[in-house]
Structure 1
Amino acid sequence: MKNIIITLIAAATAAHAEPASTLGKIGDIEIKTDEIREALAGLEAGQDAALAKDPAALGQYVRALLIQRLVLKEALAKKWDQEPEVVAKLVRARESALTESFLESAAKVPADFPTPSDLQAAYDAAKPSLLVPKSFRLAQIYIAQPADADKAAADKAKAKADAVAKKVKEKNADFAAIAAAESEEAASKTKGGEIGWLAEAQIQPEIRERLPKLAAGTTSEPVKLADGWHILKVLETKDAHTPSLELVKDQLAVQLRAERGRLNRQEFLAKLLKENPLAINEIELAKVLGPAKP
């Protein structure tokens, strides 16, 4: 199925589409390739690109559509569409769908928006918020010492922390192996003590202040926190940086198109309301709501 979906996405942009074939089937209900091509063509710019990059998401969409059509078949077989309450709902749904479709058309964003200059301007304005803070990829060996530990327990925990710290400082010491054997933190010890990437702001102040002094590959002395002792190893560091425009332009384009669409919609509605003033009879409105309760 995955290969079929990938082929579909590529074919949707071809100048001459191949003859329609069955993309999915449930019972005697089928969805043709051309139907999904048309659905993709009707999506907002950015949404179609997102689906094209995610065959699994497109496959889920096809499965959901097949199930919907199966339920619809059952409903029509039982003449559910002729029930008075359902008829009223269908009328309201039709009106809502027509209104929304017309508004989408009126607010449609030009295909060539945003231009490269639009993207550059948005990127320049967003730079402060795009800053990725300095981060550290860390591993640790943790020795528990509860806050309410008595002196004997506290002395035992500190002695173990000092002994482990001595081990990791030895020549050719294998931090991951020592963490697997000695650490008392279950999740990280199975990964050689690794706890992953953390931004500076995510790290406790007592640890954060020591990290700039540690080059990648070096370990800290035991650090005492409220929960116990932590011996840290800096595996990698990344300085604070701002992603390039090339890396974020797709995301920016989606945001700019969404913002332009909302603006177009607001402008269209404002023009329509200016030409057709809206008025509500507050007295009649009160009658609809009924007399106020004491």
Structure 2
Amino acid sequence: MPASLRPILAAAFAAAMVMSSPAQAQDTADPNEVVATVNGTEITLGHVIAVRADLPRQYDQFPPALLFQGIIDQLVQQTLLQQSFEGDLSLQSRILLENEERAVTAGEVIAQVMEGGVDEAELQAAYEEQYPDETGETEYRASHILVETEEEAQALVTKLEEEGADFAALARENSTGPSADAGGDLGWFGEGDMVEPFFEAVAALEPGGVSEPVETQFGWHVITLVETREKERPAFDTVRNELENQVREQMLTAHVEQLAENAKIDRADTSNINPEAINDPSLLEN
């Protein structure tokens, strides 16, 4: 809903606060039921529901009875304003209407495609592709101590290797990272989960080993590798919803690609248009 219309709705809510209790609601509702008529133009329950669905979450605090009457009042006022309009819509308004119609219609098609049934064999194939039986990937559990300088990091390495200091205790005392309270424990992670210099240092360690100081954009790290394991394959049922969403997205992509293949699409040469023009709404003023 445009922000400029919300004060109208808020005022209607304030007026509705003094209303008497509404009549008993019907058990069933028909979205085509007319709730108001303005100079012959009908406003239906469906119109009210559509406005309610588009309201920001802060409106959830209002009881349904107040929202119901407030939205009707707003739609009546909007209809009056619409009927009083004379002349031609501005360029911006015409474009907004065209874009809105395009988006709503496209949304209908997207819903039809996405609601289509997903074949069980497709789900199983997606599962096998994304989660192969033997991934061959290793996961690492490591701890680290993060400090600001290489000198600080080297001093910590010396304490660990030559003095036998406790890694977790040093992390709690010295680390500036969020894992300090956990003794530097970072939990389990795999390749791509950590910045490259950090991960390379971890992968080069044997369990129990301590790295030399490692520099990243966060500072200097001293790392110890706790243990490793083969990446676990999740059970099919635990990722079923995720796989269904992926398959449906693929269905939508394939549908759009098919539409494009059968369409005549001419893309104009836009090299003469400054891309910054998209940030200038004054171009739509007339």
Q: Provide the TM-score with structure 2 as the length reference.
A: 0.49
Which of 1 and 2 has higher RCO (CA within 8 Å, sep 6+)?
Answer: 1
